[in-house]
Structure 1
Amino acid sequence: MANVNVLLNLFIEYLQMEKNYSQYTIVHYQHDIREFFLFMAEQAINDVETVQYSDARLYLTKLYDKKLSRKTVAKKISTLRSFYKFLLREKYVVENPFALVTIPKAEKRLPNFFYEDELQILFRTCETDTPLGERNKALLEFLYGTGIRVSECCQIRLKDLDFYLSTVLVHGKGQKERYVPFGSFAKDSLEKYINNGRKKLLEGKERIEALFVNHRGGPLTTRGVREILNKMIEKSALDSRIHPHKLRHSFATHLLNKGADLRSVQELLGHSFLSSTQVYTHVTNEHLRKTYMSHHPRA
């Protein structure tokens, strides 16, 4: 029987080459599988082939004993199911012990979003009299105006923008590409930042392709975006917490509230499955319910 680390390396190679998973995802897969290897050692299980359904159930119980959230447990079990599915395909095992393990349902949380008046306050707090201020305003307008993920935003290059058509080429998950339109507010802020603020931030530094740059002239990172947005919230005095995805949630929710169809929103967000987009219908339905209860005389 092959060494467990050899099998893990083969699986990681498969995720990289065939599935095109990001390095971030792969690191989490490795961590979850190595955790299971430790469990195997504790149970004196010598190789992956001898793991049985009862062992998988025991591992599930031990994950619950650690007081992990149901979502975290579900992800770990899903990782191991995928690992064994790969081993089964490559004929290293004859059955998948995790195939019948019931994954606990994750708690359904409605996406958190900004109301339109809250966003107006946030936009007004942007100071545009400095290069960094111009960048921050453009960043905020661009994230809300396109609904793209922050990781996607940080990969946008100048050449990905088409100001004539007001579209941007987005490099999404799994090396999927899509074109996303942006509106006049985002366009104006982007043009001002590119023609002025960005040039000043890059003065005396090596030219780079990234659209958004930091104060040192390097590409802006996802962590940098979070810090910028947090500072904006502090300045605005809004009684609200912000995370980059909240702007994406706001983008989708506001489109649906204004009558956009679900399929179009799915395409704009880059969701592979409509079920991922349907969560926003719950938000808009709840918004409609609250509006009804607040205004209907017989509510």
Structure 2
Amino acid sequence: MGDDDRAPVGRLVEEYLTHLAIERGLALNTLTSYRRDLRRYAAYLDGRGIETVDEIAEADVTDFLAHLREGDEDHVPLSAPSAARTLVAARGFHKFAVREGAVGRDVAAEVKPPAPPRRLPKALPVEDVEAVLDAAGAPGTELAIRDRALLELLYGTGARISEAVGLDVDDLDLDASQVLLRGKGGKQRVVPVGRFAVDAVRSYLDDVRPGLVSARANGGAVFLNSRGGRLSRQTAWAVLAKAAQRAGVGVEVSPHTLRHSFATHLLDGGADVRVVQELLGHASVTTTQVYTLVTIDKLREVYATAHPRALA
């Protein structure tokens, strides 16, 4: 490629934007975002003295990403999602440059967008969990007894929803207050069950489940639907959502919310993180340690009341 054939960055950016508008049919707002992000990229390259696309190296793209995250005297740092969006625009530009024959290699292909920050698990206060459990059994029907047993077991063991609906009667040992859970990858673990969950499940097994059992094969499932089949994850999810609504809980509640709450409340109560790891069935303690971040408010509360120099 001779000097006259080398594609100026600015010209190819405009060609790419035209491609996005005409051939890809992007919405005006999306196109505006691409234009802003690519002009920011072009200005950054210009500041490095880079005028043509073939001069751009992978290090330039990597440094551009660092520039987005760190900022300078002219630009405030971008959040991880905003920086990722801008890098996506730059990566698309480089793919286009290869397709158009402006360069022979995509120098941005190995530059990955920053990972979004890991969100902390949401946990309900103990009183909200109790309100949800009470609301599940409030209608006083046979299915309400089943629903209360299901939610008590979820919160009482920290089980995943798939583990709870996958339970068979033979997996329960209520006399020993324990249950066998089958987790991810076929891994099994035995976990203790608290008194409230034991009582709720026993009541369901004795008084309700026999009436739900039908000729339909259910594999000995603990939790049955009204037709005698194994309760589905979707129905279990709906049971919890309705109970949370009746309880007046103002946030979205999912089965995983009870699992998060189980872990957080144990740690707040002084449980060792490795014990919680075993109860949750996590392969690595690093997965469990994210729950320790949830308890920072509890730590601040204790610190503020216990440390002699905590208060100004």
Normalising by the residue count of structure 1, what TM-score does the alignment of the two structures yield? 0.63
Q: Residue 122 in 1 paired to residue 132 in 2?
A: yes
Q: Kindly provide the CA deviation profile for residues 136-177 of structure 1, in whole angstroms up to 9, marking residues without a partner as x.
A: 000010000000111111111100111222111111111111
Q: Residue 237 in 1 paired to residue 248 in 2?
A: yes
Residue 190 of structure 2: SS of its match in structure 1? Answer: strand
Residue 164 of structure 1: SS of its match in structure 2? Answer: helix
Partner of residue 180, structure 1: 191
CA RMSD of aligned residues (A): 2.9
Whole-Å separation in 2 of the counterparts to 1:298 and 1:249: 31
Partner of residue 227, structure 1: 238
Whole-Å separation in 1 of the counterparts to 2:286 and 2:110: 23
Q: Kindly provide the CA deviation profile for residues 35-76 of structure 1, in whole angstroms up to 9, marking residues without a partner as x.
A: xxxxxxxxxxxxxxxxxxx8xx9xxx9xxxxxxx96xx9xxx
Deviation at 1:217, TM superposition (A): 1.3
Q: Is the 8 A contact 1:158 1:209 kept in 2?
A: yes
Q: Is the 8 A contact 1:131 1:200 kept in 2?
A: no
Paired residue total: 210
Whole-Å separation in 2 of the counterparts to 1:173 and 1:116: 27
Deviation at 1:204, TM superposition (A): 5.8
Q: Residue 109 in 1 paired to residue 109 in 2?
A: no
What is the letter of the counterpart of residue 298 of structure 1?
L
Q: Kindly provide the CA deviation profile for residues 109-133 of structure 1, in whole angstroms up to 9, marking residues without a partner as x.
A: 1110111111122222222632201
Q: Is the 8 A contact 1:130 1:197 kept in 2?
A: no
Q: Which moved more, 1:119-128 or 1:268-277?
A: 119-128
Q: Percent identity?
A: 41
After TM superposition, list the pairs within 5 Å mapping 1:61-76 onto structure 2: none
What is the letter of the counterpart of residue 152 of structure 2?
E
Q: Closer, same or farther in 2 for the Cα pair 1:176/1:100, shift >3 Å?
A: farther
Normalising by the residue count of structure 2, what TM-score does the alignment of the two structures yield? 0.61
Deviation at 1:259, TM superposition (A): 0.7
After TM superposition, list the pairs within 5 Å mapping 1:41-56 onto structure 2: none
Partner of residue 229, structure 2: 218
Q: Residue 148 in 1 paired to residue 159 in 2?
A: yes
